[in-house]
Amino acid sequence: MESNHNNVPQSAHAASAGGAEPNYINAHKGIWSWMTTVDHKRLGLMYLVGVLTFFGLGGIFALLVRTQLLGPIFGGASGKQEWLFSGDTYNKLFTLHGAVMVFLVIIPSIPASLGNFFLPLMLGAKDVAFPKLNLMSFYVYVLGGIFLLFSIFTGAVDTGWTFYTPYSSTTSTSVVSAVMGVFILGFSSILTGVNFIVTIHKMRAPGLTWVRLPLFVWAQYATSLIQVLATPVLAITLMLLAIERTMGIGIFDAKLGGDPVLFQHFFWFYSHPAVYIMILPAFGVISEIITINSRKQIFGYKAIAMSSVAIAVIGFLVWGHHMFTSGQSELASAVFSFLTFAVAIPTAIKTFSWVATMYGGSLRMNSAMWYAQAFLFLFTIGGLTGLFLGTLSVDIHLHDTYFVVAHFHYVMMGGTMTAFVGALHHWWPKMTGRMLNEFWGKVSCFFVFVGFNVTFFSQFLLGTKGMPRRYANYLPEFQTWHQISTIGSYLLGLGFFITLIYMIQSLINGEKAPKNPWGGLSLEWETDSPPIEHNFHGQPVVNNGPYEFPEIDHSKSNRGGH
């Protein structure tokens, strides 16, 4: 049934020799060949290693934060009872958790690692448009990471990942180093975005029209648009913050004649669209996984593609909803609140389309699909609670409570990271040439899903009861929920740890992966697993859409009775 829809020239020698041809991993040997590679696949893999390392680091910070909140440290008679960490250390821990996870993990996770690897493959191109620029942005990423981590050794940061003034311009911790790190990481993000947009415009295979692009490509396109247009504003904001700190220029500090709310405008003009940099690629991944595993043409291709672009644009109009209680004017708050609801529309279009795609499909529940289902569930909760927070009056009550914490973890962690891990399961065979263990994949997904909900659903309850975020201590009545949440976080950690184990196992002695284990129709499945150095033999030509699966035989299924 996997007829070769697309016209990919097959070299006779590769077909007969059966994979004897060198692939991108063993085509060149030695560490130097990796350090200087301009191959998008190797760079994607290097990004992946970087992202996963930082994910582990950020995860350890998270577990330390949760462990602190396990303990009874209510204000004792002395008022100085401490469990595990002092308040100062706790502040640094959650700041590092946030900064590492946002800037080093989630933003580059899907675009830089999987995007780099699969975008040119899906387009039938030999490489991205600017391979050397690609290598450069990888090194810029590493440099930014070094700066950010360097700040840990020079006193760390305790401002929260948002670096709000005037605290960030006056605290004694090493804000400048951390801010420099984020500034540099921004350039990596911009260069990747420029590279991807040009690649999508200019490097498509013959016949690969815009409406035949896999939806992952569309999602990457929208993401890159935001990366190019929003990230420079973050750069300028952080530059001004560093200057404010060193020279007291009086732009963001009210004491010197500035306006701290201005910093929040500058910061969120980037950082709200950045939320969509994080989630849009996840949408793309889910479109791929669900459609391939439903064996059915995707429902509403154009609607999903266009809603990605719509989200990218509307995402720029809503940043003020982070500032409802900051002293922003009432008019601005009302306008931003209204516009925030508008974002829900394209997002809901996507969710409905995915569900409709599965309806009547012939579902294959592999571990990637398990993760995709977890995504649908968690992201829907995250999205809907976002509406509560976008409502002006409700937000006054919920602002800066654990409700907010739970909301964005449902979106960022339950949404993006779940999709990212799902995507790893989906494309692992293509990237490494090995299959993952399906059984343990489902076990890990179970632990992640249950652990995640236990961790963060309890935080919704904490938030509505008034537990403020970013505190090392709490009132006794919050203890039960905090402890439940902490236990959940351990389950979640265990889930990811299992994933790590069987991924390593797969690399060592995993079953050899076929060319196209899931029967996908987009071009990345038509090259070897792992792909050869120049991706394809000759220039592939595309004759079909990416999701034109053969008709399902409904007579054998009792589901298709409609």
Structure tokens at 452: 């995640």
Any bridge partners for residue 512, and if so which?
A: 434
Interaction of residue 133 with another protein, rule CB under 8 A: yes
Q: Which of 15, 35, 49, 254: binder of another protein (CB under 8 A)?
A: 254
- Taking CA atoms, 28 is separated from 16, 133, 277, 493, 538, in Å, by 23, 21, 33, 36, 21
Q: Which is nearer to another protein, 259 or 438 (CB)?
A: 259
Structure tokens at 54: 């930082």
Give the position of tokens 């993952």: 436
Q: Which of 11, 539, 543, 557: binder of another protein (CB under 8 A)?
A: 539
**Alpha carbon distance 446, 440 (integer Å):** 10
Q: Measured from the CB of residue 97, what is the shortest distance to another protein in angstroms?
A: 27
Interaction of residue 394 with another protein, rule CB under 8 A: no
Q: Which is nearer to another protein, 365 or 396 (CB)?
A: 396
Give the position of tokens 């303990």: 71
Interaction of residue 327 with another protein, rule CB under 8 A: yes
**Alpha carbon distance 37, 43 (integer Å):** 7
Q: Contact, 54 vs 120, CB < 8 A?
A: no
Binding mask 183-202 for another protein (x = CB under 8 A): -------x--xxx-xx--xx
Structure tokens at 92: 């640094």
Structure tokens at 278: 């994080």
User: Whole-angstrom distance between the N-terminal and C-terminal Cα of the chain?
Assistant: 24
| Binding window for another protein (CB under 8 A); candidates: 94-102, 222-230, 409-417, 500-508 | 222-230
| Binding window for another protein (CB under 8 A); candidates: 93-101, 204-212, 455-463, 515-523 | 204-212
Angle at 233 between CA 253 and CA 334, to 5 degrees: 75
Interaction of residue 247 with another protein, rule CB under 8 A: yes
Q: Which of 91, 174, 220, 231: binder of another protein (CB under 8 A)?
A: 231
Any bridge partners for residue 7, and if so which?
A: 541
Interaction of residue 392 with another protein, rule CB under 8 A: no
Interaction of residue 240 with another protein, rule CB under 8 A: yes
Q: Measured from the CB of residue 103, what is the shortest distance to another protein in angstroms?
A: 18
Q: Measured from the CB of residue 54, what is the shortest distance to another protein in angstroms?
A: 25
Number of residues forming the site for another protein (CB under 8 A) = 63
Q: Contact, 518 vs 435, CB < 8 A?
A: no
Closest CA to 426 of 287, 279, 298, 308: 287
Q: Which of 34, 164, 316, 446: binder of another protein (CB under 8 A)?
A: 316
Any bridge partners for residue 468, and if so which?
A: 401
Q: Which is nearer to another protein, 193 or 545 (CB)?
A: 193
Interaction of residue 204 with another protein, rule CB under 8 A: yes
**Alpha carbon distance 422, 367 (integer Å):** 7
DSSP one-letter code for 541? B
Q: Contact, 306 vs 347, CB < 8 A?
A: no
Q: Which is nearer to another protein, 198 or 435 (CB)?
A: 198
Q: Measured from the CB of residue 325, what is the shortest distance to another protein in angstroms?
A: 13
Q: Which is nearer to another protein, 367 or 535 (CB)?
A: 535
CA dihedral 318, 322, 325, 329 (to 10 degrees): -30
Closest CA to 511 of 423, 401, 432, 394: 432
Q: Other C-beta atoms within 10 Å of 560: how many?
A: 14
Residues numbered 423-482 forming contacts with another protein, rule: CB under 8 A: none
Any bridge partners for residue 434, and if so which?
A: 512
DSSP one-letter code for 162? T
Interaction of residue 87 with another protein, rule CB under 8 A: no
Q: Which is nearer to another protein, 70 or 249 (CB)?
A: 249
Name the amino acid, one letter, at 364.
R
Interaction of residue 341 with another protein, rule CB under 8 A: no
Q: Which is nearer to another protein, 84 or 236 (CB)?
A: 236
Interaction of residue 27 with another protein, rule CB under 8 A: no
Q: Compute the chain's Rg from CA coordinates.
A: 24
Interaction of residue 237 with another protein, rule CB under 8 A: yes
Q: Which is nearer to another protein, 335 or 450 (CB)?
A: 335
Residues numbered 259-278 forming contacts with another protein, rule: CB under 8 A: 259, 261-262, 265-266, 269
Closest CA to 100 of 128, 43, 62, 130: 62
**Alpha carbon distance 482, 71 (integer Å):** 9
Residues numbered 402-431 forming contacts with another protein, rule: CB under 8 A: none
Give the position of tokens 């409502």: 391
| Binding window for another protein (CB under 8 A); candidates: 93-101, 170-178, 226-234, 280-288 | 226-234
Binding mask 489-528 for another protein (x = CB under 8 A): ----------------------------------------
Q: Which is nearer to another protein, 110 or 190 (CB)?
A: 190
Interaction of residue 12 with another protein, rule CB under 8 A: no
Structure tokens at 220: 């990457």
Interaction of residue 331 with another protein, rule CB under 8 A: yes
Q: Contact, 148 vs 179, CB < 8 A?
A: no
**Alpha carbon distance 63, 58 (integer Å):** 9
Q: Measured from the CB of residue 169, what is the shortest distance to another protein in angstroms?
A: 11
Q: Which of 21, 82, 127, 438: binder of another protein (CB under 8 A)?
A: 127
Q: Measured from the CB of residue 267, what is the shortest distance to another protein in angstroms?
A: 11
Interaction of residue 329 with another protein, rule CB under 8 A: yes
Any bridge partners for residue 96, and if so which?
A: none
Q: Contact, 516 vs 525, CB < 8 A?
A: yes
Q: Which of 25, 102, 125, 419: binder of another protein (CB under 8 A)?
A: 125
| Binding window for another protein (CB under 8 A); candidates: 81-89, 229-237, 286-294, 369-377 | 229-237
Q: Which is nearer to another protein, 320 or 463 (CB)?
A: 320
- Residues at the site binding another protein, with contacts judged by CB under 8 A: 125-127, 129-133, 190, 193-195, 197-198, 201-206, 209-210, 228-233, 235-237, 240, 243-244, 247-251, 254-259, 261-262, 265-266, 269, 316-317, 319-320, 327-332, 335-336, 539
